């Protein structure tokens, strides 16, 4: 089955710890994205990657970091510098960066206390 997987589904961390969220796709898509969703708000773009070894900041990149060493993987690290990390995180991919139809993974709900 082709698709996007995110793990874990739920993640709990103590304040001050870095945490890495996994995103893997087997759709052979070039472009991948990370969004954050808060209650009552739409999705906000954190980072995106057009191709392997390349990524750009989105609208709310502060306190986050990413890597794109393999086409199928785009992990997101939430660092201790992120002031309000508790949220629902969604990963997405598209065939290319010009393909505006994005396919989403099931999300990871991160709770930091």
The span of 13-21, 48-56, 64-72, 76-84 binding another protein (CB under 8 A) equals 48-56
By CB under 8 A, is residue 86 in contact with another protein?
A: no
- The correct pick among 11, 44, 60, 77 for binding another protein (CB under 8 A) is 44
| DSSP letters for 73-112 | B--EEE-TT-S---EEEEEEEESSTT----EE---EEEEE
- Which residues pair with residue 61 across a beta bridge? none
Q: Please report how many Cα atoms fall inside a 13 Å half-sphere around the Cα of residue 109, on the Cβ side.
A: 4
**Cβ nearer to another protein, comparing 23 with 112:** 23
Does position 8 interact with another protein (CB under 8 A)? The reply is no
Given the structure tokens 């999705």, which residue do they identify? 43
Give the residues lining the site for another protein (CB under 8 A). 4, 31, 33, 35, 40-45, 48, 50, 56, 58, 90, 94, 96-107
């Amino acid at each position: 089955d082709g698709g996007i997987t995110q793990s874990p589904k739920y993640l709990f961390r103590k304040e001050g710890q870095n945490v890495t969220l996994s995103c893997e796709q087997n759709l052979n898509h070039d472009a991948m994205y990370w969004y954050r969703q808060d209650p009552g708000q739409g999705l906000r773009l954190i980072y995106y990657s057009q191709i392997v070894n390349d990524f750009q900041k989105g609208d709310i990149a502060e306190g986050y970091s990413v890597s794109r060493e393999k086409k199928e993987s785009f992990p997101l690290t939430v660092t201790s510098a992120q002031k309000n990390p508790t949220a629902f995180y969604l990963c997405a991919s598209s065939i290319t960066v010009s393909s505006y139809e994005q396919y989403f993974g099931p999300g990871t709900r991160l709770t930091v206390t």
